[in-house]
């Protein structure tokens, strides 16, 4: 998490811009993306359909975590049942073989679901770099409105395109109603 503390060298985390509506935010996100910024984010009080495309976000890797963990859980569940029924406690019940795989399908399925759910949680935490108990944007009083009725774009100072004078001016040009630098 060392990259969370990177600043422009003058104690600035970046710049925060407020927009008046979801539509204005969507157009602004497309312009920020087209300008070439790479370390920035949009903050809204509710999900906005199409915002990920306007930001140019790629598909998440969380589904890969779910697939790998789900298959691993199913395989481990089947192996565990095979070992218990065939090696650890082999019991002949009604003349059935030790490894009667149809009887093991429900537990295998449930282990796969458990593994997939665990993969979703683990993938989310890893991809979102959580838990993060403090973020520099929490230093802004204005940013507290993001949970109620405000729409923001934050551009970090570590972005190669960031310029402490030009970036706020650019955000005002694309429709920001309020722009402020954010201390680290």
Average pLDDT per 10 consecutive residues for the chain, totaling 184 residues: 46 95 97 96 96 94 96 98 94 87 96 98 93 90 93 96 96 97 92
Number of domains in the chain: 1
Residue 93 inside a domain? The answer is: yes
Q: How many helices (H) and strands (E) does the chain have?
A: 5, 4
pLDDT single digits (tens) 110-144: 999 999 999 999 999 999 989 988 889 998 999 99
Question: Is residue 115 a contact partner of residue 72, using CB atoms and an 8 Å limit?
Answer: yes
- Who's near 184: CB < 8 A, 6+ residues apart? 5, 7, 11, 12, 13, 136
Residue 21 inside a domain? The answer is: no
**Model confidence, pTM:** 0.76
Residue 19 inside a domain? The answer is: no
Residue 163 inside a domain? The answer is: no
Give the structural domain span for 98. 62-127
Residue 102 inside a domain? The answer is: yes
Q: Which residue has the tokens 């429709």?
A: 175
Tokens of 55: 């930001």
Residue 123 inside a domain? The answer is: yes
Task: Give the closest residue to 1 by CA, choosing from 156, 153, 160, 126.
Answer: 126
Helices 62-82 and 101-127: angle between axes, nearest 10 degrees: 150
Residue 87 inside a domain? The answer is: yes
Residue 67 inside a domain? The answer is: yes
**DSSP reduced 3-state for 177:** coil
């Amino acid at each position: 998490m060392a990259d969370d503390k990177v600043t422009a060298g003058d104690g600035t985390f970046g710049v925060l811009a407020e927009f008046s509506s979801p539509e204005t935010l969507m157009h602004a996100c497309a312009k920020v993306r087209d300008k070439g910024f790479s370390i920035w984010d949009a903050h809204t009080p509710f999900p906005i359909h199409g915002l990920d495309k306007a930001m140019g976000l790629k598909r998440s890797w969380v589904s890969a975590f779910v697939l790998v963990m789900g298959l691993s859980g199913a395989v481990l569940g089947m192996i565990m049942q095979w070992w218990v029924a065939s090696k650890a406690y082999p019991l002949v019940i009604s003349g059935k073989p030790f490894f009667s795989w149809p009887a093991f399908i429900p537990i295998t399925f449930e282990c796969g679901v458990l593994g997939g759910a665990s993969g979703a949680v683990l993938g989310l935490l890893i991809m979102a770099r959580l838990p993060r108990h403090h973020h520099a944007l929490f230093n802004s009083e204005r940013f507290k409105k993001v949970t109620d009725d405000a729409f923001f774009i934050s551009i970090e100072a570590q972005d190669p395109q960031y310029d402490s004078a030009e970036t706020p001016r650019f955000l005002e040009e694309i429709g920001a109603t309020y722009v402020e630098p954010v201390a680290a």
